Amino acid sequence: MYLAEKAWPDLETYFRNESLALVPVGSTEQHGPHLPLATDHLIAEGFARGVAEQTGYLCTPTINIGVSPHHKQFHGTMWVDPPAFRAYVESFSRNLAYHGIDRIIYVNAHGGNVEHLREVGRRLRDDETMYAIEWMWNDSIPDLVDDLFERNGPHGGPKETAMIQHFKNEWVAEDRLAEARDGGLAGFDSETGRKFGSRVYYDAIENADNGVFGDQTDATAEKGEQMYDAASEQLVRLCEWLTTQDFRDLMPEDHI
Ligand SMILES: [Zn+2]
């Protein structure tokens, strides 16, 4: 069920009987020469809306702008500072609690949001308002992502390319996939941008001239669909687990 398309009387039964809301959270930031700036919010929305339709759980409108200053050198990247983002997410989460929601899954598709969503979730739990957790699609299917792509990348690589080919193929510049690979850093690994154990970069451009990593020519819409099916199944299971938990059991343990 999508909240924004309903009239308020149509939402009464849900808020009286159900406890869960899915909140898609993305970004509007550069994703290389081949993908739209909408990439992360298209992916978050695709998963959240798809699973909400499949299960009947409530999906809210998408948060389209996140914490993305590490992509600021590229035209059009938008971001808000972490304190503003945290305050905003906390505020609308408390608004949902007012209507009776006591658990949220932030269906997130942007790595830069993770720590901030976790921090907000901790605040909401510490004062026992609700239990809010972050879910990221690719973290739910790490083996499949590894199997599908030889040279993946943390940003704008084949996995995100395949997801947009699946969700919104007309927004992918197919004729720039090789350019994306050749102008970026195809071979990203755990040593990239590290010296003597320290991460010495802050911005994506320091490791990739065009802002992206991995081999984008390896992406196909079919791989995107396969990842969608597998990860959305994980999200359905997370919803089912979460809604069957006793609220008390989701709250912090007492001091010993
Ligand atoms: Zn992304």
What's the pLDDT score for residue 151? 95
Please list the residues that pair with 59 across neighbouring strands.
Answer: 2, 22
What's the pLDDT score for residue 221? 98
Ligand 1: centre distance to CA 109 (Å): 7
Ligand 1: centre distance to CA 228 (Å): 15
Spans of the chain below 70 pLDDT: none
Ligand 1: centre distance to CA 67 (Å): 12
Ramachandran class of 214: left when φ > 0, alpha when ψ lies in -120 to 50, beta otherwise: left
Ligand 1: centre distance to CA 240 (Å): 27
Ligand 1: centre distance to CA 64 (Å): 12
What's the pLDDT score for residue 159? 98
Average pLDDT in the chain: 97
Ligand 1: centre distance to CA 160 (Å): 6
What's the pLDDT score for residue 88? 98
Q: Which residues of 214-244 are buried (b: 16+ CB within 10 A; e: fewer)?
A: bbbbbbebebbebbbeebbebbeebbeebee
Ligand 1: centre distance to CA 201 (Å): 18
What's the pLDDT score for residue 190? 86
Ligand 1: centre distance to CA 55 (Å): 26
Question: What are the pLDDT digits (tens) for 112-136?
Answer: 999 999 999 999 999 999 999 999 9
